[in-house]
Every structure is written in C-alpha cells, then in structure tokens.
Amino acid sequence: MTEAHGRIDPSPWHGLDPATVLEQLGVEACGGLSTPEVAERRAQCGANAIRPARRRGAVRIVLGQFADLMILVLIGAAVVSGVIGDAGDTLVILAIILLNGAIGAVQELRAERALAALRRLDAGTAAVLRDGAAATIPAEDLVPGDIVLLEAGRAVPADLRLIEAHGLQLGEAALTGESLPVEKGTAAIPDPALPLADRRNMAFKGTAVLDGRGRGVVVATGMATALGGIAGMLDTVEATRTPLQRRLTRFGRQITAAALLLCAIILGLGIARGEPPLLMLLTALSLAVAAIPEALPAVVTVLLALGARRMAAENALIRRLSAVETLGSVTVIGTDKTGTLTRNEMQATALWTAEGKLPVAALDVTDPAGRRLLSALALCNEVVPDAAGQPRGEPTEIALWRLAAAHGVDKAALERTAPRLGEIPFDSGRRRMATLHRGGEGCDLYVKGAPESVLPLCRAIAAGRGEASLNRPVLAQALERMASEGLRVLALAWRRCPVPLPQSEAALERDLTLLGFVGLFDPARPEARAAVATCRAAGITPIMITGDHPATALTLARQVGIATAEEDALTGRELAMLSDAELQAQLAGTRVFARVDPAQKLRIVAALQARGEVVAMTGDGVNDAPALARAEIGVAMGRGGTDVAREAAGLVLLDDNFATIVGAVREGRRIFDNIRKFVRYAVTCNSAEIWTIFLAPFLGLPVPLLPIQILWINLVTDGLPGLALAAEPAEAGVMQRRPRPPEESVFAQGLGRHVIWVGLLMAAVVLAIQAWGVQEGNPHWQTMVFTVLTLSQMGHVLAIRSERESLFRLGLRSNRPLLGAVTLTCLLQVAVVMLPPLNPLFGTAPLTAEEWAVCGLASCVVFVAVEIEKWMGRRKEGKGSALDPAGATRPLHPDSAARQEKGSKGNALGGGPGGEASW
C-alpha cells in the first residue's frame, strides 16, 4: 500500500484529507473500530508483524547440517567404500552422520525457538481507540482502520495517516536516515510520487514519537508497511552476531585449517606406511569431521538464547544477545533512583507553608492559602480515576491527588467549576508543569515542580488571606531539611493571570505566589541494599543518576549503600561547568549525580567509558535513549519506560528493579562461564582425538581407531554432555570476582593451556593402553583404546564443571542433566562393546572384567589430573590473598590496559564482600 524501494503507492493516503481517509477505511475518528470489524479485518490482513528476512524453516536447518563440505566428502567416501567394500560399515557411518546432523538441527531449532520466544516477549504494544474507548493492545493485533493514539516516547506501531497532531515530532532515522526530528501535521499533500521522508502527514512503522501527541488511522500493517518493504535491514535479536560468536567463528576457521593439515599428514603417513588408502582416507575424513568445531557458534547461540530465556523469567528481558555476554564485563551500573532503587510508592508525609513545617493532616482547610494549595494539588495534576474510582497516573501525581482527596477536594468536581484551558506538560528538563484554569474573573495558573525550578518564578508566599514576602534563606533551609530526610520535595505556586493572556510561556509563568512545599516519601526497595553489596563484591560500582534533589538522592544513596557518609553529590549544574577531562577526574569519587538532565547522562556514560569502564545505564524517557544506546548495556524500564528507551536498550527490566540488573549480571557471568566450559570440553576432546591418531605412527603403533569409532566418540561426547553444561549452576564465587575484561580472549585464564595439556594427557593415556595392548598381543586393544577415549572424556566433563571447586564439593546431583548425559553415554559405550550384534558394526569385541577394570582406571587419570590442577589453583589463590590483603580493595580500572593485566591474573585478586571498588 505504500512506497518502498521506488514502488509507487497505488493508494496515496497522504494525498487524501483525513475525512476521506477515514471514510475509505470505514472508521469513525472518535469511536474507532468495533470488535467484530477488527476480527474480520484481522482475518483478511493477518498479524501486524514484520517477518525477519533471515528466519530459516526447520527443513532448511536440517539440510544445513549436511551442507558442510567435509561432511559431503565423508559421505562420498563412505559410499565409495561401501560400493567396493563392506556395505554394513558404510550404513553405520551414514547413520552416525545423520544422527550427528539431527543433534545439530535440534540445537539450532532450540536456539530459534528460544529467540522467537524472546521476540514475542519483546513485542510492543499500541494505544488504540476501539469500541469507543481507549485500550492498550499488542501491536501485532492492529488492523487497517484502527485509530492509534500517539504520545512522546511511543513507537509508531503501523503505517498511519495522521488525523490529529499537536506539536507532533517523529524520529524517522531508522526509516529514512533523517537524523533530526520531523514535524508532522495532518493536511493533505496531493503528490503521488512524494518520497517517504516528505510525507509529513504520515507516521510510519518503525519510527518513534519524540515529542507532542497525535492520532492516526492505520493504513497499512505488517509486511504491507514501508518498513515491511525493506525488512532486510531489520536488526532483530538474532540478526547480529555477538562478539563472542564472531570470535569463535574465527577461531573455528583457524582450528579447521590446522585440523585439515594434520589430517592430510595422517593420510599421507598412513598411505606411505602401506595402510589401505580408502580406509586411511575415511579415517582422515572422520577425524577432520570430528575435530572441526563446526557446532561451536551454534552451541554458543543455544547457550546464550537459553540463558536469555531464563533471564526473562527473572524479569530481565534481553533485546540483544550480545548483552548477555557483555553483562559479565560490566564495571559500573548507572541507575535511576525513583522506581529502580525505591518502590515508586510515593506518599505525601510532610508539608511546608508560610506557617512552617506541618504534618499533612494538620493543613488548615478553612484558611484561603490552605484551600488554594489543595486546589493546586488537585488541578495541576494529570491523574485520571479509572472506572473503579482508583487514581491512574504517575506515583508522584497520585500521591498529591490523594493528599487533596484526603482533605475532601475532588479533582473532577473542582474541574467542573475551574475547567482546564491549557497546560505546559511536565518535562524532566524543566522539572515543572503548569495548568491554566478558568477562575472567578479571569484565569488561574497553577505551577508544580522541583523547588529550584519553581522558586525563581515566585514573588511572594501565600499566607492566610493575603501574601507575605519571600524569605529565600528560610525557604532554602526548609527545602534542605525536608530533602535530607529523603523526601522528594515539590513546590506548588499559583497566579491570577491578566486577560488577555500573555503569549509566551515565560511571561505566563512569572510573579507566582508560592503555596508551599509537599514532601513525598518513597521507601527504598527492601532488596536494594543487598544488591548494592553484591555489586561491590563483584567489582562493580553502582552509581545513582537522578533528576531529584541532591539531599534527597544522597539520603537514599547512603541508605542503600551506594554512597558513604562522607561522599557528596555532583549536581547537573556543577557537571555542566566541568570540562570532559575534569569530569573524568571527578568521577573517581562521585557516586551520586543529582538534578541531572537526561542529556547529561550521555556525558557521564562517555566520561566513564573514557576511563575504561564498561557501563550499564538505566533510563526510561525519550531523552535517555542516546545514553542507553551509547552505554555498553542500555537498561530500559519495562513498566514505566517509553518505547523509544526500550528500542535503544539491550536489556529491559520488566519489574524496573535495580536488583534485577544485578541478577542479570550474575546470570550473564554464569552463561559466559558455561560457554567457556563448553569450549574447554569440546576443544580438549577434539585435540585428544587428533593427538592420538597423529602421534600413534610416530610411536610405531597402528592407526588406533576406526573411522566409525571416531565418529561415534564425536557423536556421544560432543552432543549431549556438552549441551548439558548449559544447565550448570553458577559457580559459588561468581559474584566475588572482578568483571571480565571485554577484550579478553575466551582462551584466557589458563583455558588455552588446559586444552593443550589435557588433550596431550588424554592422548598419552590412550596411546599407553594401545602400546601395552599391542605389545601384549591383546586382540581387544582397539576396543580398549576406543573405550578409554570415550570414558576419559566423561571424566573430563565432570571435572571441568567448575573452574575451581572440586567435583566432590559440587556433588554429582547439582547438574542432573549432565549426570544423565554422562550415565547415558557410558551405558551406550558398554552397549557397543558388550552387545554382540553391535560388535561387527563398531569393530569392537566384548571386554573381560579385568580389561574393563584397566579401562576404568585409565579413564580416571584425566579426571584426577584436572582435579589436581584445580586444587593447585585453589592453593595458589589462598596464598595469593594471604600475601596480598590489599587485593580486596585494589582500585579498579585506571585504564583498560591495566584491566587487561588484571584479567590475566584470574580471580585470585577478586574483592571480598567488604572490598569496595573505586575507579
């Protein structure tokens, strides 16, 4: 229906006037569609959703498993060997390749499903008019003809022809590349070939409302929208690969090259020694298929996606998979105050008027000044009661509405005698709002906002029937006292306006009479203090960035442990005076930023990053979006936040709770640990197989394993046990170590070394068994080699469940899926060795009890060795902290180079619970 990629719109909605559009779409502007009409249209046009261009179906995923060149060559070679040799062997090889492909496909499908579930959770909503009433519905349910209500912060949910616009400004960068806000109107523009960017009476899906409000009628949904026409550019959850996935893909390529080279050497050496060429070819190809970690990136996606799903259940919704990884590296969390650290359950607990400070119940309603204050509370207020009479709106507003109601002032009744004529809405830059009402002989203006914002506009203070002059030092003192009790203080003021009304806002909002201050109490969230302590132990510094008064902010910051008694707050005004370099220096000792404009958040994030910090930053408003996009992890509020902030964020807090961010960091660290464990396991196993087959001829031994055995080991070891590592619980000390430097290689902290030495040790054990068997003339040597290699891997996977704790401490049952996978693998191994029908297929022979005992013992060697490695690590750590008690209080990250140096020293220096981090 719209123009995309030069296609001219057959139905140029922008060329028609609003009334015609409404008529053509069969809808009334004030009532919206009815439920039956919606159902009918929905059946016709389907869901309002963009199908991601890259989405792959199940069949393609399954076929994709066999599209690998090595697998194709292996299949070819197996078929040739079947034709000229043993067809049974070939069939088993093909069956194993199929099974391997099936496991890969199941993994990928699981990842797809987990990602799709995340996408569903992340689906937006739309405010619409239906059946004559406003409602919020899933954006997916919109149909052409729906009337959509737009306000600042909302994403545009479908293509709309605007029918009402009040100061409506849209951000269209995502669609047209225009970086400046675009002013929108409703007048028809009769030019059918008008480019998208110039259709000023349209609002397109994928753009966002930056300011103002408006209404539009849906003219196109889903793939019929302008965005649908260019869906390929969509940045959906899975479209971008995470840095880790990219790094592992690169690593996979290097390993592939090395494995191919080694396999070629093995093939050459084998043929040179007179082994049957076709068998050697199959051996080398099987080894290549087994050793190439083609599944690594897919498994990482599975682990990340499963982790993200678990996080969503804990109220942390991941919007970009890379955020899962980055969470483990976060060094600073910049958090809002209201709602995140507090419960956002405001209650008016104190008043200050010309009479001085009084409890809220003591307000004299017979006094004209008192009555005027109550009118201001009720009228300069955006609360709308719902059908049940319960107030709906911002907690701050609700608290003030309740205060008025408690003194018998009913907003609705009052508005009947003093209807609202105009308003200047609240905005966090101005920190105040104003409403204009019809008064006795003219108009009354009520202003409410932060005292610093309202007091400069005041000329006097209301006292009894008249006014008194302002004593600003007394006011400042009163304000400071209320704020340092942790109260959010709002000033209320009033003025009778001259008629005709002044034209400018500045001329209107002047010569006000102060009515008083109201102190609102908002209790800290009970879990906030513990979450702050966890952050500190984990080497993460929480800082508070709020629009509230410094004293209010500091009181709460001290209460939850963000600031100490000595620390002071830096205000937005002070911040504005600092140069970037000065700000960076100032950051070292500042934990609380107060009266900060959202725009200043961006400066704070940038300055923190310049110091080498990895920043998670919360935000909810339109103006927070740049800071959220700039931070390594933008954290948006799911309850109170705008769509615009959400779009810019990597993580959405469904409960707006600070503790949820800390929980997400913990989960991010666990997931990253488990990815490392999987890499450790898979790469070590592969290297053991390669070493075994590569080194055997140098020791004068025959080829140790048959191709089918190599493929079997790859199937049973890489598949189930590897994936069960995703279920591994977090390590005990996961939140007692410093953040991982983001640039740190997956192979840092001894992983690379581990892969080499354990791979070699495993190969040495296996070759020793082979040498012994061959020398003794034991006909079962190959079955034993095969069994020891499989079982050693099981011992290894159990030992690497923790990077430091012993398995005996963890207990076998703490990861039941892994226990099940290991048990199943062992039983399968026993089956292929002991069940006579399987013996010819796998080239095995039943082992005697003594041989089983030897295999069992030999398979324990790797397990014991890795346990000793961990024990030595624990001992070194113990000594390290005894020798370096300062470790716990080491300053954090003077720069990223130092961070890297610390990263390479591992966890040994991680701060303890008392170890406060500074930077």
Please list the active-site residues.
336
Q: How far is the CB of 521 from ligand ATP (least distance, A)?
A: 14
Q: Given the DSSP bridges, would you call strands 488-497 and 443-449 parallel, antiparallel or unpaired?
A: antiparallel
The residue (of 111 and 617) whose beta carbon lies closer to ligand ATP is 617
**Which distant-in-sequence residues (6+ apart) come within 8 Å of 117 by Cβ?**
309, 312
> End-to-end alpha-carbon separation of the chain, Å?
55
CB-based contact 423:436 (threshold 8 Å):
yes
The residue (of 392 and 874) whose beta carbon lies closer to ligand ATP is 392
- Report which residue's Cβ sits closest to ligand ATP: 547
DSSP secondary-structure letter at 635? E
Per CB under 6 A, which region of 80-88, 544-552, 806-814, 849-857 contacts ligand ATP? 544-552
CB-based contact 911:541 (threshold 8 Å):
no
Residue among 410, 414, 415, 457 at smallest CA distance from 432: 457
Q: For residues 559 and 563, what is the distance between their CA atoms, to the nearest angstrom?
A: 8
Interaction mask 600-629, ligand ATP, x per CB under 6 A: ------------------------------
Residue among 796, 763, 764 at smallest CA distance from 689: 763
- 119 token code pair: 């996408």
Residues 403-432 that bind ligand ATP (CB under 6 A): 426, 428, 431-432
Interaction mask 473-492, ligand ATP, x per CB under 6 A: ---------------x-x--
Select from 397, 647, 851, 869 the one that contacts ligand ATP (CB under 6 A).
397
The residue (of 335 and 717) whose beta carbon lies closer to ligand ATP is 335
Residue among 81, 128, 76, 80 at smallest CA distance from 97: 76
Q: For residues 243 and 689, what is the distance between their CA atoms, to the nearest angstrom?
A: 29
The residue (of 308 and 398) whose beta carbon lies closer to ligand ATP is 398
The residue (of 461 and 551) whose beta carbon lies closer to ligand ATP is 551
Per CB under 6 A, which region of 391-399, 559-567, 679-687, 783-791 contacts ligand ATP? 391-399
For residues 499-523, b (16+ Cβ closer than 10 Å) or e, as one string? eeeeeeeeebbebbbbbbbbbbbbe
Residue written as token pair 């107030």: 391
Please report, to the nearest 10 degrees, the dihedral formed by the alpha carbons of residues 411, 417, 419, 423 taken in order: -60
The residue (of 544 and 861) whose beta carbon lies closer to ligand ATP is 544
The residue (of 546 and 783) whose beta carbon lies closer to ligand ATP is 546
Q: How far is the CB of 128 from ligand ATP (least distance, A)?
A: 25
- Torsional class of 292: left (φ above 0), alpha (ψ -120 to 50), beta (otherwise): beta
Select from 2, 201, 242, 396 the one that contacts ligand ATP (CB under 6 A).
396
Select from 548, 624, 689, 803 the one that contacts ligand ATP (CB under 6 A).
548
Per CB under 6 A, which region of 78-86, 186-194, 390-398, 760-768 contacts ligand ATP? 390-398
Q: How far is the CB of 520 from ligand ATP (least distance, A)?
A: 9
CB-based contact 722:681 (threshold 8 Å):
yes
- Judge residue 542's burial from the number of C-beta atoms within 10 Å of its C-beta, 0-12 exposed, 13-18 middle, 19 or more buried: buried
Q: How far is the CB of 615 from ligand ATP (least distance, A)?
A: 16
CB-based contact 902:909 (threshold 8 Å):
yes
Gyration radius from the chain CA atoms: 34
Per CB under 6 A, which region of 331-339, 572-580, 628-636, 773-781 contacts ligand ATP? 331-339
Select from 216, 228, 270, 547 the one that contacts ligand ATP (CB under 6 A).
547
Q: How far is the CB of 336 from ligand ATP (least distance, A)?
A: 3
Please report, to the nearest 10 degrees, the dihedral formed by the alpha carbons of residues 290, 296, 301, 302 taken in order: 40
Interaction mask 487-526, ligand ATP, x per CB under 6 A: -x-x------------------------------------
Residue among 887, 869, 628, 614 at smallest CA distance from 744: 614
Task: Please name the amino acid found at residue 900.
Answer: Q
Q: How far is the CB of 652 from ligand ATP (least distance, A)?
A: 16
Angle at which helices 87-121 and 296-313 pack, to 10 degrees? Answer: 30
The residue (of 520 and 800) whose beta carbon lies closer to ligand ATP is 520
Q: For residues 826 and 790, what is the distance between their CA atoms, to the nearest angstrom?
A: 8
Q: How far is the CB of 346 from ligand ATP (least distance, A)?
A: 9
The residue (of 517 and 681) whose beta carbon lies closer to ligand ATP is 517
Per CB under 6 A, which region of 294-302, 336-344, 408-416, 650-658 contacts ligand ATP? 336-344
Q: For residues 296 and 679, what is the distance between their CA atoms, to the nearest angstrom?
A: 8
DSSP character string of 366-402: TSHHHHHHHHHHHHS---EE-TTS-EES-HHHHHHHH
The residue (of 494 and 863) whose beta carbon lies closer to ligand ATP is 494
- SS3 track for 510-536: CCEEEEEEEEEECCECCCHHHHHHHHH
CB-based contact 99:715 (threshold 8 Å):
yes
Q: How far is the CB of 626 from ligand ATP (least distance, A)?
A: 16
Q: For residues 221 and 128, what is the distance between their CA atoms, to the nearest angstrom?
A: 14
The residue (of 624 and 673) whose beta carbon lies closer to ligand ATP is 624
Q: How far is the CB of 662 from ligand ATP (least distance, A)?
A: 18
Residue written as token pair 């039941």: 816
Q: What angle do CA 454, 459, 460 make, to 5 degrees?
A: 100
CB-based contact 154:643 (threshold 8 Å):
yes
Interaction mask 429-458, ligand ATP, x per CB under 6 A: --xxx--------------xxx--------
Interaction mask 291-330, ligand ATP, x per CB under 6 A: ----------------------------------------
754 binds ligand ATP (CB under 6 A): no
State the number of binding residues for ligand ATP (CB under 6 A). Answer: 19
Q: How far is the CB of 517 from ligand ATP (least distance, A)?
A: 10
**3-class DSSP assignment, residue 182:** strand
Q: How far is the CB of 619 from ligand ATP (least distance, A)?
A: 8
Cα 846 to its chain centre, rounded Å, is 52
- Judge residue 10's burial from the number of C-beta atoms within 10 Å of its C-beta, 0-12 exposed, 13-18 middle, 19 or more buried: exposed
Q: How far is the CB of 510 from ligand ATP (least distance, A)?
A: 18
The residue (of 196 and 545) whose beta carbon lies closer to ligand ATP is 545
Residues 73-92 that bind ligand ATP (CB under 6 A): none
Which residues here bind ligand ATP, judged by CB under 6 A? 336-338, 394, 396-397, 426, 428, 431-433, 448-450, 488, 490, 546-548
